[in-house]
Chain A
């Protein structure tokens, strides 16, 4: 199970790679592996306001559809257009080419509610027991 060193994580298996006030957002290797083959990603629109822990995107695998929650509050500034034709990028490259969207963070203090790599690793290991 790959966990990227430079990301922060939610208990729902979203990641945020924060650089200043900007964050790339996606779902973790654990999430894509649990979902199986991803067949559709429903992304927010550029300009959408999103709120930490609330609905921000949809991801569908062959077997099921799941909601993706925003790891932080802010505004969507860009989306990964490649996912429309190639949702399998989420399976192949969950932390890089398979990112969902980019956002501008409105409240950097919310970062404290997210897990770092080590904490997320411990959390995921606890789930598989």
Chain B
């Protein structure tokens, strides 16, 4: 078995009593005080998450001449400097290789943030498909990332970085000086709450973590609550809800595919548009506290029509919620059954997000 990697905060997590478990090749904190407590704290106050496992690439490239724009499913040429955009990268058959965020730092200067388990494959894909004059640096091992999420996150960061934090709009970022380096602070996140993602050199991550926790409002949270928070918003998790076996259209993310531009995988998407979708990602809510789980079958009557990709108890709604691919067109409001062995959970198909009373 491959040796699990550890973030700079590993010893801190263990010393603080976090439960550690493998995730995407990393040994990560799953919970501190408990998933429900951390979930509620993020929805009402502020939580800090160690997200150092995620990958970052720094690029100097003309978006057109280098081929960079062609790698993602929507243009990046029109992005203002200081903004970030959620994008997909596809393989030639239209399968989703990753979902990522592209940040435009300067006219020809970019940071791309990718999922932990896909760092190596993504790097290969970028290098293979870029040409001409450009530079590409995989800084995943040296750059750390902390997510500060929750309705009170702005006031917490203002105390550290100053009033400039208040200028940040959703999906924009600014650089702030701290301890001799310039940190990227981006108003983005994976919880549905007002929140920020801070990029800081690996050597200073522990120091920033401790500084954040000096504020009594801030509590540490693990990947367990990160998962329930993102699922309540209907945000997909790569490797579960998104993978190379599915296209962005199947994942119901048509809005992140721009057919007026060229991109890798476009031929397959056009073909799919013509022939119809094989599967569709749907969202559903249980009528009880029982949770659909990854891998459970989705049934319309006796007919199995799909498989659950993500499922959990929703702490905000106190019922089970989930997403999964089905092979038929299913309308919102339809009643289906999620089944595994003797477990049968009646669910209703709903629109995303599951929960919308957030501070975002």
Chain A contacts to B: CB under 8 angstroms: 36-37, 39-40, 42, 58, 60, 62-65, 87-88, 91
Whether B312 contacts A62 by the Cβ 8 Å rule is yes
Whether B34 contacts A87 by the Cβ 8 Å rule is no
A39-B313, A40-B313, A65-B343 known; A60-B34 Cβ under 8 A: no
Q: Which of A42, A63, A65 contacts B35 (CB 8 A)?
A: A63
B115 within 8 A of A: no
Q: Which of B37, B224, B288, B290 contacts A63 (CB 8 A)?
A: B224
Give bound CA distance, A65 to B294, whole Å: 11
Q: Which of B19, B34, B228, B293 contacts A65 (CB 8 A)?
A: B293
Chain A residues in 8 Å Cβ range of B228: 62
Whether B289 contacts A87 by the Cβ 8 Å rule is yes
| Number of residues from B at the complex interface, CB < 8 A | 18
Contacts A42-B290, A63-B224, A65-B291 given; 4 further ones with Cβ under 8 A? A36-B31, A62-B291, A62-B313, A63-B30
Whether B224 contacts A62 by the Cβ 8 Å rule is yes
**Residue-by-residue, is B204-238 near A (CB-CB < 8 Å gives 1, otherwise 0)?**
00000000000000000000100010000000000
Whether B224 contacts A60 by the Cβ 8 Å rule is no
Chain B contacts to A: CB under 8 angstroms: 19, 30-31, 34-37, 224, 228, 288-291, 293, 312-313, 315, 343
Whether B34 contacts A40 by the Cβ 8 Å rule is no
The distance from the CB of A124 to the nearest CB of chain B, in whole angstroms, is 17
Give bound CA distance, A91 to B34, whole Å: 11
Q: Can you list 5 pairs linking A and B with CB atoms under 8 Å apart? A: A39-B36, A42-B290, A60-B291, A62-B313, A87-B289
Whether B291 contacts A40 by the Cβ 8 Å rule is yes
The distance from the CB of A101 to the nearest CB of chain B, in whole angstroms, is 18
Chain B residues in 8 Å Cβ range of A60: 289-291, 313
Q: Which of A36, A40, A63, A91 contacts B289 (CB 8 A)?
A: A40
Whether A39 contacts B289 by the Cβ 8 Å rule is yes
The distance from the CB of B20 to the nearest CB of chain A, in whole angstroms, is 13
Chain A residues in 8 Å Cβ range of B36: 37, 39, 62, 88
Give bound CA distance, A64 to B340, whole Å: 13
Give bound CA distance, A88 to B35, whole Å: 12
CB closest residue in chain B, given A60: B291
Whether B289 contacts A37 by the Cβ 8 Å rule is no
The distance from the CB of B22 to the nearest CB of chain A, in whole angstroms, is 13
CB closest residue in chain B, given A55: B342
Give bound CA distance, A129 to B224, whole Å: 25
The distance from the CB of B72 to the nearest CB of chain A, in whole angstroms, is 33
The distance from the CB of A70 to the nearest CB of chain B, in whole angstroms, is 16
Whether A39 contacts B34 by the Cβ 8 Å rule is no
The distance from the CB of A91 to the nearest CB of chain B, in whole angstroms, is 8
Give bound CA distance, A37 to B291, whole Å: 13
The distance from the CB of B320 to the nearest CB of chain A, in whole angstroms, is 8
Give bound CA distance, A88 to B315, whole Å: 12
Chain A residues in 8 Å Cβ range of B313: 39-40, 60, 62
Give bound CA distance, A62 to B315, whole Å: 9
Whether B224 contacts A36 by the Cβ 8 Å rule is yes
Chain A residues in 8 Å Cβ range of B31: 36
The distance from the CB of B30 to the nearest CB of chain A, in whole angstroms, is 8
The distance from the CB of B21 to the nearest CB of chain A, in whole angstroms, is 9
Whether B288 contacts A62 by the Cβ 8 Å rule is no
Whether A39 contacts B343 by the Cβ 8 Å rule is no
